[in-house]
Amino acid sequence: MTIEIEDNVPVPVVSRRSGVEYPFGQLAVGQSFFVADVKRGTLASRAHAFGKHQTPKWKFKVAPAEKDGASGMRCWRVA
């Protein structure tokens, strides 16, 4: 097997998985936002990752919710 080494091959531009920016940084304690068609684990993971980089750490709660007949998840800032 031969592996060719190449020059000048552009690196692909990688965007966020879905291109969605969640407004974690805009939430005050007690505020929340709703997102339709998102998995609980995806939103909870993103919230946790954001919160652990804050000083002091921020905490979030993610739970299934409905808004205007749409099913999705709601994310609350709890600390």
Predicted pLDDT at 18 = 52
CA separation for the pair 45, 11 (Å, rounded): 27
What are the tens digits of pLDDT across the range 7-57? 999 987 765 555 568 999 999 999 999 999 999 999 999 999 999 999 999
The DSSP annotation for the chain comes to: ------SSPPPPP---SSS----GGGPPTT-EEEEES--HHHHHHHHHHHHHTSSSPP-EEEEEEEETTEEEEEEEE--
Predicted pLDDT at 21 = 84
pLDDT, average across residues 50-71: 95
Predicted pLDDT at 25 = 93
